[in-house]
Structure formats: C-alpha cells, structure tokens
Amino acid sequence: GVRPGSTSELVVIDPVDDYLSLLKTVFDFGALKRLLARPDFSFVFDGMHGVAGPYARRLFVEELGAPEACLVRCEPLPDFGGGHPDPNLTYAADLVARMGLPPAAAAHDDGHSHGHPAATTPISTTPPSFGAACDGDADRNMILGPRFFVTPSDSVAILAAHAAASIPYFKTGLKGVARSMPTSAALDRVASALGVPCAEVPTGWKFFGNLMDAGKCSLCGEESFGTGSDHVREKDGLWAVLAWLSVLAHANHADGAGAAVASALAKLG
C-alpha cells in the first residue's frame, strides 16, 4: 500500500495502442490494406457486443481502411446485448445468415427453436467475401466464407499451411504446431507435409503455453474455436481474423490483381 503522506502516480494506458504495435510486427498491414480496398472484396466482423469492438474499429476501420459498415455489434455491452457471446453457428445466427448460410442449430426437425436464438437477418443471396466473429473476451473466433463455414479444426490447419508464405512473423518457418486432443488430425497432415513437429495435448490452453515456453510451438488451435500463436502465448481471436485476411491477401496477390477472392478461398483447402 501507499504510506500516509506519500504520493503515487497513476498512469492510464490505452491497451489498443500496445496491441496494435504488436500486431504490426506480426502482419503486413500494407498487404491487408490493399486487400480491404479491393472492389471485389467485402468483409463483415461481428464483435458480439464483447470487448473486441474497440480493437476491431481501430484495426479494421482506422488502420486498414475498411468501411464502418463492416462492423456488427461492436459496442461492448455489460449484458452482451442480451445475447450469448459465443462465436458459433448457433449464437452468431445473424452473421451466419448474412454470409448466405441457413440456420444450423436454431431449429430442429420439428421446426421449433428449443431456446436457441433465431436469426433476424434474412439469408443473404449476395454474401460478403469473408466473415468473422469473436467471443466476449475476444480470445476465440469463427471464420466464414460466402455460403460456407470453416471449422476450427480446418482453420488452424489452413493457417499453418500458409503461415510462412503469408505472415511475416512466420517467414522463417514454424517451430512446431499443436492441437488439442478433440481437434481433428488435419493439422497433423499439414505438419507432416511441412516437416515440422505436431503435438497433441489435453484440452486446456496451458498445455500450448508450455510448448511455446519451450520453443516448440509457433501456432496452435483447439476444437472450441480457439486459435493462437506465440506472439502472445495465448489464443487471440483478432489475431486469427488478421491471419486469415493475410492468407487471402497473399493468395490474391499471387494470382494477380484481377483474381476473385472467392476463387482464392476455394484454393485454400
């Protein structure tokens, strides 16, 4: 504590500044800006009224030049707007509909919702090129393309496959990759092709942290929509969104200026 009569100084920081500075050492922001400026690219991000909102506005709108309209539910609310801040096909029903997909879990065979939230957004016939969401504390993510959903297991595998070519932080290659036991073996196949170690760990991010501390893991993911790297030794939802945008930016640059984003997405599998 502070002794009577002594003085102390309170320093107020903006954590978005520090986070942005870190991300600029990981990603090529110039390439990301060029992708978001393309007339054939459209993007939507659902903050689910969680803490990701201010970070997303600073990153996507102020730094990368995306239109404000790309942000959905990016005002943090103490009750998350009455919704459940879980980025999956059930609780991000409006984003799912906006991306052109029918409700996945909102209705069962009897046509009743059974307590699941129903989408208020009509299913889009012209969905955006790319969609993403983060949960309440922004450490988990969901990735969508036009009329398709990228499972967490496939997401970490695809990011690992393209990380070295697409993300400057990984330009010298991956030290290793890791997945939780319930996560599919797609990452194992990628690791084998890349010639890097792949670890299977019990559920719990602390096991990934141990591998990162030992210098044995650069990128990892789990079945419950968590993806991350050793840039912060944690799962990081906004990092995952920027990683996907980086992969798309590289795929389209490699194909030339006129390449459609949808065709680049199709090639990533």
CA atoms within 13 A on the CB side of 250: 19
Which pLDDT band holds residue 112 (cuts at 50, 70, 90)? very low
The whole-angstrom separation of Cα 206 and Cα 192 is 24
For 244-259, the pLDDT digits (tens) are 999 999 988 765 544 5
| Alpha-helical runs (H) found in 86-219 | 93-98, 152-166, 186-194, 205-213
Please compute the mean of the pLDDT values over residues 55-59 and round it to a whole number.
97
DSSP state of 168: G
Average pLDDT over residues 161-185: 97
Mean pLDDT, residues 149-176 taken together: 96
pLDDT at 70: 97
pLDDT of 197 higher than 70? yes
- Extract the runs of DSSP E, i.e. beta strands, from the chain: 43-46, 71-72, 130-134, 141-145, 148-150, 177-180, 198-201, 219-222, 226-229, 234-235
pLDDT tier for residue 104 given thresholds of 50, 70 and 90: low
Which pLDDT belongs to residue 61?
Answer: 97
pLDDT at 111 over 50: no
Measured CA to CA, the distance from residue 102 to residue 105 in angstroms comes to 9
What is the model's pLDDT at position 263?
Answer: 60
Q: Count of residues for the chain?
A: 269
